Amino acid sequence: MTTILGIETSCDETAAAVVRDGHDVLSSVVSSQVDLHARYGGVVPELASRAHVQLLTPVIAESMVEAGVGENDIDAVAATVGPGLIGSLLVGVAAAKAMALVWGVPFVAVNHLEAHFVAAFLEEPELRPPLVVLLVSGGHTLLVEVKEIGHYRVLGGTIDDAAGEAFDKVARYLGLGYPGGPAIDREAAKGDPEAIRFPRAMLDEGLDFSFSGLKTSVINYVRKHPDVSTVDVCASFQQAVVEVLVAKARRAAREIGAAGMALAGGVAANSQLRTHLLDACEADGLQAFLPSRAMCTDNAAMVGAAAWYRLRDHGPTPLDAGADPNLRIPLTA
């Protein structure tokens, strides 16, 4: 039995969790800084790092109390080392190394993207690879083949804005506030998705994405038609994003002969994306997995789980390993 304390501070959530043997989540505490950044319309890196410094110790303490474990029960301490905001990452990494050193247990470095993939398995242990995971968040848009935990192949990604970034930028332009995804999701439900035909960039080309042209086209349309109904703009924009995401995920699954598809990242909370992906899986005879909202967004349970596999396959991480804001998905055969 291996009990791991996982720490996540890559962006604007301060999170700690206690996870046993890679699947048993004893606790998962997330303190969101969204209110802190809302007035600026996006995450302010310096404010995020300072908030992590203030919040991390109480969040860790809460995660251990909630799990009913003491320091003697912890077998390893893990932290996200990238990708993310460097100042934010360093807070979690420094804390994890210090605790590992004081408690005399291994430190385990975790790749944030890998943690998102492992999250799918945490809620659905029956999930069978090969799997296509569509990771869509404020910072990432990736289609990845998961051959098994620890073995990934990037199939496609965005060449400009991330999907969540497009939601946030369009929402900001429409005056819907931050974060924009949930606001657009809500407004879109009241509008007509066929009202405006926004472009579907690169729909028939490969497995990469582009969302920056779509954002510009929404802005230009609203400028030209100031009286247009906001709910119709939201519904039509969302439809364009979801159609491209689902079409490419489907093509990816076909190309690799996947057994199923899973969603990850904050945009995976989008109601239209969830129903369309589910319909696509049903039509193509694929297993679908849509994690809960808490498991889609940043949390430390996925870090504690990913760390267990890392420790099993690669052993502890040396304490002189640093944080890397541009860390990529581990390249494996």
87 binds, among Zn ion, ligand KG4, none (CB under 5 to 8 A by kind): none
User: Is 269 near ligand KG4 (CB under 6 A)?
Assistant: yes
Query: What is the footprint of Zn ion within residues 288-317 (CB under 5 A)?
Result: 298
Least distance from Zn ion to the Cβ atom of residue 113, Å: 8
- Give the pair of three-digit tokens for residue 46: 């310096």
By CB under 6 A, the count of residues binding ligand KG4 is 19
| 267 interacts with, out of ligand KG4, Zn ion, none, CB within 5 to 8 A per kind | ligand KG4
CA distance linking residue 26 with residue 19, whole number of Å: 6
139 near ligand KG4, judged by CB under 6 A = yes
DSSP string, 3-38: EEEEEE-SSSEEEEEEEETTTEEEEEEEEE-HHHHH
Strands 141-148 and 131-136 turn out to be: antiparallel
Nearest C-alpha neighbor of 97 from the set 78, 112, 84, 82: 78
Interface with Zn ion by CB under 5 A: which range of 15-23, 38-46, 129-137, 222-230? 129-137
Query: Could you tell me if 120 and 289 are in contact, meaning their C-beta atoms sit under 8 angstroms apart?
Result: yes
The reply on whether position 3 binds ligand KG4 by CB under 6 A is no
CB atoms within 10 A of CB 229: 15
CA pair distance 176, 193, nearest whole angstrom? 18
Q: Which of residues 170-199 bind ligand KG4 (CB under 6 A)?
A: 179-182, 185
The 275-304 site mask, x for binding ligand KG4 (CB under 6 A), equals ----------------------xx------
Q: Closer CB to ligand KG4, residue 138 or residue 156?
A: 138
Stretch that binds ligand KG4, among 102-110, 161-169, 214-222, 248-256 (CB under 6 A): 161-169
- Give the CA angle between residues 295, 299, 305 to the nearest 5°: 80
Binding site for ligand KG4 (CB under 6 A): 11, 137-139, 164, 167-168, 179-182, 185, 265-267, 269-270, 297-298
